[in-house]
Chain A
Amino acid sequence: AQRVTQPEKLLSVFKGAPVELKCNYSYSGSPELFWYVQYSRQRLQLLLRHISRESIKGFTADLNKGETSFHLKKPFAQEEDSAMYYCASRSSNTGKLIFGQGTTLQVKP
């Protein structure tokens, strides 16, 4: 079954500290992995996808098939990074996008 797990509901760090939001997935095929972000009072928006292998707003995420993980990282957190972050997996068969439980990132000044 297609499943995404984000073990942390809340991650609180100080400005300038490194950040790692954990995500693990389970899927029998080759999934496509994404990170979405939802800032306060805004709609969900795509942050990055694993096939792009790019850095957006200083965030990166590497797909580790051995550990079935797709952790989101940023070396120096900024206050404006405070938001809800969702990891998601998409099935190549059905196109369905399944979300993890979400992690609230709180960056303190």
Chain B
Amino acid sequence: GAVVSQHPSWVICKSGTSVKIECRSLDFQATTMFWYRQFPKQSLMLMATSNEGSKATYEQGVEKDKFLINHASLTLSTLTVTSAHPEDSSFYICSAIQDSGANVLTFGAGSRLTVL
């Protein structure tokens, strides 16, 4: 079945540094991927829609200069948290839609970011 891989699964960084999280569709092509953020014991909040070859579409309230998204190929989207601060600490989850298939989202395992 369709598999989405996220890397790293967890990362700890110092305040002010930038962190890149990768989301890969392993056995299918995905023109569209989505990035979510999940706080402890809360739901998944959609951050942005990542489109291959074009700019990402951000949800209201999400800073595009803070959360840089690059979807350079049909199997890879990256989320870069720039100048990270402790309030950016969260669980980031990506999902991808198969270009050909059942039109269902497949989720990655998530990446836990801790900013000290």
Contact = CB atoms under 8 A, between A and B. Distances in A.
Contacts of B108: 43
Interface stretch (B15-23, B39-47, B69-77): B39-47
A96 B34 contact: yes
Given A43-B110, A44-B93, A97 B42 contact: no
Given A86-B43, A97-B95, A99-B46, 18 more contacts: A43-B107, A43-B109, A44-B44, A44-B93, A44-B107, A45-B107, A95-B32, A96-B46, A96-B49, A97-B34, A97-B46, A97-B105, A98-B46, A99-B43, A99-B44, A101-B42, A102-B42, A102-B43
Sorted nearest first, the 9 A-B pairs with minimum C-beta distance are A44-B107, A43-B109, A101-B43, A99-B44, A99-B43, A102-B43, A43-B107, A97-B105, A46-B104
Interface of A: 36, 43-46, 49, 86, 94-102
